[in-house]
Structure 1
Amino acid sequence: MTEPSVQVLAHGLGGSADLPVPLAYALVAAAWALSISFGVLVFAWRTPRLRADTQGLPLPSWVNTCVAAPLMRRAGAAAGLVLTVWVLLAGALGPPRTSHNALPATFYTLLWVGLVAASVVFGPVWKLISPARAIQQLACLVTGQRREHAWVTYPEKLGYWPAAIGLFAFVWLELASPNPGSVAAVLTWSLVYLVTTIVGTIVCGTRWCEHADPFEVYSALVGKLSPVGPGPERAAYVLRWPLNNLQATPVGAGSVALAAVLLGSTAFDSFSSQPRWRNFVDSASAGEPLGGWTATAVRSLGLLLMVLFIAATFTLACRAVPQLPRSERAKLPGLLVPSLTPIIVGYIFAHYLTYLVEKGQSAAMLLMDPLDKGWNPLGLDDRDVAYVLSTHPTLLAALKVTFVIVGHILGVLAAHDRSLRVLPKRHQLTGQFALLLTMVMYTCGGLYLLFGG
């Protein structure tokens, strides 16, 4: 493998490598987002249409048989466990150089970005390959306990807060820590995550995975945009319009925080690559070595403020319904937060597209030889990364804008349909304007950051 192909951690070391969107593309996209949003709101969508229990198109029987087979589920669990051990061994015993070690490459590329792509296509895949679930199944097999067994009931009041905190810890390591590409730092984070999740799963059962495992909650959230979903009888899987599946998104305490972390961290990643922000961080930490604690504190505060900004603006927009009791307004952010999922996914694909397609190839190559022993099982050692997007900037810009706009339109449709269900009839139109304008602000802000500020 040649040297350029192993430089896989530009994002993990602070910033996306994608080319900025041309200004004309960003302006046209913003105009489309605004006009389509108001057109949908006022003219095209008068009654609720989205339901998670629609019949859908049944998948072939052999597909459902294969997916439901215990052997398939055990194979997925075993594969996830083996891959986890494989990558951790690479971190512990592999080459010390970040660009040659498979752990950081897998951590930042295949896990963080690839998990979104896989979940959007196939549904919540982490549930199948989760190492914590695999170990819990082994423990139940040895002790004779049922898989649903829990020593302690998971507290309902916790909701999704542990998952939101875990995801914030991940993005903090990636975007604000002193040395995000450090093999030791990534290995430490991974081990803490595994120990916490395994202990929580054994003690609280699978409800811990469903509510507190950051990667399973992340996968399940974006997996609601998959065209694949359970049928009305839940005995088989069907194909249906993804926004129908989105209606089945479970919500609870911490759901707004979860969405704010995902959207706010991606926005901060774009923002932190702006020259003004970098100059500000450099001036604040002048005289300190690279990765000093002042710079870390400034980046951490910036990341936290961006997440809080998303959470506050969304919450205020949802509650801006006139003449509605305070108790009813307080419920609206949780009821409407699933509508942010398409915007989150669209922005993630727009921001990390090049990173996934091109640097994902490098991560896969490193996984073929995690201990740097010269292994070459697939004959890829002499292959270079195919820079299929970086060498076509016009195509890349068009794709990025398309992802943002499609995510925005789907988010507006989902929010509008949900508003028609949960808002009083006399406020179904006026009660949506603040939320619509907030979504337009997110989209235009995302385009501005992708444009390069």
Structure 2
Amino acid sequence: MSDTTVVAHGLGAEYLPLPYTYALIGGAWALTASFAIVAFAWRTPKLDPSRGGIALPRWVTRAVDNRGVRRTVALLALVVTVWVGVAAVAGPDDAESNPLPGVFYVLLWVGVVVLSVLVGPVWRVLSPLRTLTARARRRAPRSYPAAWGHRPAALGLFTFVWLELASPDPDSVLAVRIWLAAYVGVLLLGWWFVGDRWFARADPFETYSLVASRLAPFRRDPDTRRVVLGNPLAHLTTLPRRPGMVTVMAVLLGSTAFDSFSSFPLWRRWIDDLGEGSAGATLVSTAALLVFIGVVAGTFWVATRATGGVTRAQRAELPGRMAHTLIPIVVGYILAHYLNYIVERSQAVIAQLGDPLGRGWNVLWLSDIHPEYVLTEHPTVSSTLKLVFVVGGHIAAVVSAHDASLRLLPRRHRLTGQQALMLTMVAYTFLGLYLLFGG
């Protein structure tokens, strides 16, 4: 992406509230101490989503389930989509004037995560394609192949991060237009042949929202179906175990790590020498992106299978059954990495929506918004929050992994079977902090 985008992603280590080396070592030790504590104090599985939770007033459940409320939210999302679509088709061709790239990379990519973590899988309601096809009651000629799982969504997520991080001109309005046209075409074609399940499995944003929502504090009571306020770590265990989910996690975590790495001066000089936007730079960036994703997938796959006392079939299932333990790391790193996007750049994007065609409009007085750069003006606060998000996410992952091991591994291997995954998460913490602040 452009230099202005890279700068928005993070802050240097000089703004940390403690020396950089201490932050790296302290994060690793915090993770190790957390593992030691839960290993000896947490002897039986406790993260059960069917246990308890504080039931919210019944009107909350009625409001959430009300068709009128859902349709109103969906129609509002559709109106916003049409408004952005006007900018996509008839707006200026430069990213500085056209709100399309900002909506695409900030409100959609980052906003979906924030909303999903706060309230649940919102994209299922907000998706304009689901809204447009909701009344088209037709019998699909085929059923969705169960063996595909979320693999189509993983591929869709990869095309998104490739466009953002490795394509010749990610800020190009034309490039975003082409991606969105392909997205709409592929989803509608798949829906035509296999029905609504195509949206649930193949839509990259719906799968992205599903993953992030597993960390939301709100969930359904399995018996009463009421909305309850519960332990988010218990909610993690409800992540569906389907083919491709580990790949989804690897794409999300690996691409975010590569985004941080791409701001390192050495990498920037190499890309500049190749010629930014050239075929050579694109190939090198694509290869590096694939390496980061592959490293995450490979290390997690090996670490979760490195245990004794299980059959070959059980060992093969462990990566998928442990995939939910990566969610806190993914969400923590994404929130840390895109914190400035969430708080600051989103304001500028919303202001642009007041005049999507560059004709001097001020629809709903949006153009009067003047972004408040509160994080840029307080870099120490920003860096501290990022440190908390990364380390906190990894600690939550360690707790979740320990609980999952107690449920999945034989008694004799419950501690030893976690060691490889624990060391892998320490490495993720160290590398994540280094990439986030080391550039």
Provide the TM-score with structure 1 as the length reference.
0.92
Does structure 2 conserve the Cα–Cα contact (< 8 Å) formed by 1:264 and 1:303?
A: yes
| Pairing of 1:142-291 with structure 2 (within 5 A) | 145=138, 149-233=139-223, 235-283=225-273, 285=274, 288=275, 290-291=276-277
Which residue among 398, 410, 433 is the counterpart of 2:384?
A: 398
**Aligned residue number for residue 122 of structure 2:** 125
**Which deviates more from structure 2 when the two are superposed, residues 29-38 or residues 244-253?**
29-38
What's the counterpart of residue 375 of structure 1? 361
| Residue from 335, 343, 347 that aligns with 1:361 | 347
Q: 1:15 to 1:254 in 2, by over 3 A?
A: farther
Comparing 367-376 with 406-415, greater Cα deviation is found at 367-376
Letter in 2 for 1:168: F
Letter aligned with residue 419 of structure 2: F
For residues 43-73 of structure 1, what are the alpha-carbon distances to aligned partners after superposition, in whole Å with 9 as ceiling and x for unaligned?
A: 2211100111123111222221111111112
| Structure 2, gaps ≥5 residues long | none
For residues 60 and 155 of structure 1, the distance between their equivalents in structure 2, rounded to whole angstroms, comes to: 39
Task: State the shift of 1:81 in Å.
Answer: 2.1
Percent of counterpart pairs with the same letter? Answer: 48
CA shift, 1:383, in A, is 4.1
Q: Is the CA contact 1:221–1:249 (under 8 Å) kept in the aligned structure 2?
A: yes
1:379 Cα shift? 3.3
State how 1:399-418 maps to structure 2 within 5 Å.
399-418=385-404
Task: Confirm or deny that 1:59 pairs with 2:56.
Answer: yes
Of 286, 296, 299, the residue aligned with 2:282 is: 296
Q: Secondary structure at the match of 2:375?
A: coil
Aligned residue type for 2:186: T
Preserved CA contact (<8 Å) 2:149 2:201: yes
Aligned amino acid, residue 164 of structure 2: E
Which residue among 400, 411, 425 is the counterpart of 1:439?
A: 425
The separation in 1 between residues aligned to 2:220 and 2:4, in whole angstroms, is 35
Cα drift, residue 28 of structure 1:
5.3
1:32 Cα offset (Å): 4.0
Cα offset for 1:83? 1.9
Q: Which residue of 1 aligns with 2:93?
A: 96
Aligned to 1:329: 315
Deviation of residue 412 (structure 1)? 0.7
1:66-105 counterparts in 2 under 5 A? 66-105=63-102
Q: What TM-score comes out, normalization by structure 2 length?
A: 0.95
Is residue 45 of structure 2 the alignment partner of residue 45 of structure 1? no
Query: 1:363-395: per-residue Cα shift (whole Å, max 9, x none)?
Result: 111112212222223434344310000111111
Task: Give the secondary structure class of the aligned counterpart of 1:229.
Answer: strand
Q: Which residue identity does 1:356 align to in structure 2?
A: I
Q: Secondary structure at the match of 1:47?
A: coil
Cα distance in 2 for partners of 1:436, 1:292 equals 40
Matches within 5 A, 1:8-19: 10=2, 16-19=8-11
1:29–1:401 contact (8 Å) kept in structure 2: no
Secondary structure of 2:259's counterpart equals: helix
Alignment deviations for residues 307-330 of structure 1 (CA, whole Å, 9 cap, x no partner) = 000000000001111343322211
Amino acid at match of 1:252: R
CA RMSD of aligned residues (A): 1.8
Question: Hey, what's the Cα distance between the residues in 1 that align with 2:96 and 2:267?
Answer: 26
Write the distance in 2 (CA, Å) between the matches of 1:428 and 1:422.
8
Is the 1:120–1:226 Cα contact (8 Å) retained in structure 2?
yes
**Measured at CA, do residues 154 and 400 of structure 1 come closer, stay the same or move farther in structure 2, by a change above 3 Å?**
same
Q: 1:232 to 1:12 in 2, by over 3 A?
A: farther
Listed one character per residue, the Cα deviations across residues 297-345 of structure 1 (whole Å, up to 9, x for unaligned) are: 0000000010000000000001111343322211110010100000000
**CA distance in 2 between partners of 1:174 and 1:314 (Å):** 25
Letter in structure 2 aligned against 1:20: G
Distance 2:357 2:347 in 1: 18
| Alpha carbons of structure 1 residues 279 and 11: separation in structure 2 relative to 1, 3 Å | closer
Cα pair 1:339 1:414 within 8 Å, conserved:
yes
Cα deviation, residue 84, structure 1: 1.8
Q: How far apart are residue 239 of structure 1 and its match? A: 0.8
Does residue 20 in structure 1 map to residue 12 in structure 2? yes
Letter in 2 for 1:223: S
Structure 1, unpaired ranges of 5+:
1-8
CA distance in 1 between counterparts of 2:231 and 2:387 reads: 22
Secondary structure in structure 2 of the residue aligned to 1:139: coil
For 1:121-151, what per-residue CA distance to the aligned partner results, in whole angstroms no more than 9, with x for missing partners?
01000000111211221322xxxx4xxx433
- Alpha-carbon distance change, 11 to 39 in structure 1, aligned in 2, over 3 angstroms: farther
**Shift of residue 10 of structure 1?**
5.0
Distance 2:408 2:379 in 1: 43
After superposing on structure 2, the runs of 4+ consecutive aligned residues of structure 1 that deviate more than 6 Å are none
8 Å CA contact 1:113–1:352 kept in 2: the answer is: yes
Give the stretch that moved more between structures: 235-244 or 334-343. Answer: 235-244
1:329 maps to amino acid: R
1:173 CA displacement = 0.1
Distance in 2 (alpha carbons) for counterparts of 1:169 and 1:213: 12
In 2, Cα distance between equivalents of 1:78 and 1:151: 28
* Structure 2: distance between partners of 1:413 and 1:16: 31
CA spacing shift, 1:234–1:375, aligned 2, 3 Å: farther
Matched to 1:265, the amino acid is S
Letter in structure 2 aligned against 1:68 = D
- Could you tell which deviates more after superposition, 163-172 or 272-281? 272-281
Change (3 A) 1:15 1:193: farther
Rounded to whole Å, the distance in 2 between the matches of 1:426 and 1:50 is: 21
How many residue pairs end up in the alignment?
A: 434
Which deviates more from structure 2 when the two are superposed, residues 101-110 or residues 50-59? 50-59
Shift of 1:256: 0.8
